Structure 1
Amino acid sequence: MKVGIDLGSRFVKVAIQSGDDEFILKKIDTIEFYKKYVFKKEQNIYVDMKAFLNEDDVDITATGYGRNVLAFKNANIISEIKAHYKGALIQMNYENFTLIDIGGQDSKVIYVKNGYIEDFVMNDKCAASTGRFLENSANILGITLEELANETKKPIKLNSTCAIFSESEIVGKIAEGYKISEIAAGINESIAKRIYPMLKRFKNDRYFASGGVAKLKGVIYFLEKLVNDKIEVVKNAQFNGAIGCLHY
């Protein structure tokens, strides 16, 4: 059995090969996954596939934020760039594209030409264009992440480029009496503006988006306006990295 694992900061995404072109997808809270299915033996760390899937003979390839923390002895470890590129290549069946991946802790843009990675850029130094920032912003506004994600009308301008200062600015906008919907739209636009400088470097035939934030319509809406082109969300966007792992 072949298994791909994307160790995200919030969720672990798992793709299990069930046929030539078929797979089963599972998602589990990251902390719960580490508690239940990771163990240490003789100074080495293992994924317990017997406990997770009731299988012993498993070929594991892993990627994601957690790969930098835990180097599993029984898994082939690959970069997130390779995993997400391959996932989009396989799922979308197209060889010339630019992929935007917005994760919980980082964001990345990958330029693919003739089926191969030509270049990429990654931002893992600042949380201001990540899913974690969106979650914190939704909590400040007192709305769900899904409600925040759909807002695009009358976005207010947010000037701060740092996640911490942006959160303080959001509180200030609430105090000034701006509508929650307008602040939410401004948050979505601000994330798009932070990602756009990376994206505009890599013009291509098509633009794809993956990661959990790819499902957030507001961010995609503002990115499409900035790039002046359509951005297609890849199939199984949140599992794209795990699916890519199946092909290494």
Structure 2
Amino acid sequence: MADTAKSELTPILLTQTSAEQPASFENCLLSGQQPVRTAAVEKPSAIVIFVRDPDASEAIHALDPTRQMRSGFFSQSSALRSIALDIGTSMRMLWPIPKRFVEPQRQRTALLFDASVDASASTLGLPWFVTREYSGRYVDEPRMFVDAVAVAGLRAMSESRRRAVVLILSSHSDRSANDPRSVRRYLADIGVPLFVWSLSGPRPDLAESWGEVEDVSSTAGLRAAAERLRANLNLQRIAWVDVDPLTALRLRADPRCGMAAVARLGM
């Protein structure tokens, strides 16, 4: 019965703004000036979807220049778990080289972005994960990083979990149909936090297009970026509300409840 009731509700992402929490979250979320029914506020598992060039050479050069993470010794060592995220967090790689499917009868072309299987972010550390090689063919394939970020955001949102998308910048050219500012706004609208990481040092030149870019060109930089990602996920909650999905993206939280809605649609 509980699962049936929950399936009729809409999940939205909240972030905790205060350590002071009310005994009940009823009347904490508003549609316009009207409170909406909130059935539950939970802290479920988390998913982080990464978008990275299938060519791992830039990541390896920055984070594993001696290639120790490919040695037999490393696979047995505690270094495999260095810079890990919290228990209950999964990582997934979404590759920015889509497969193209043509439907002649409908005169439509669909792009499908391949993804890795999920990995435990508390068992496998970020240096290992972000330097993994792509197993498919990619040498001559056009990259579509921006479009992949949009797809990653939609997939993360659809899973009703705490979430984030991480774009790892590349020197390869981008053949996306969309532009960074539009996709960054799209993720903000649907309530998916976006983090942009650079393997080549600071990128102030990208501030207007991608916003803040974090320097992960060293282990210390990656550790600092991981801590910010971990802190963001730790404050996230999922609320189940009795409104339709579009209305849910426009809800606002009463600041007295110590929570804020992450989605910014209409703002």
Same fold (TM over 0.5): no
Name which one, 1 or 2, has greater alpha-carbon Rg. 2
Which fold has the larger relative contact order, with Cα–Cα distance below 8 Å and residues 6 or more apart in sequence? 2
TM norm structure 1: 0.29
The structure that is helix-richer by fraction is 1
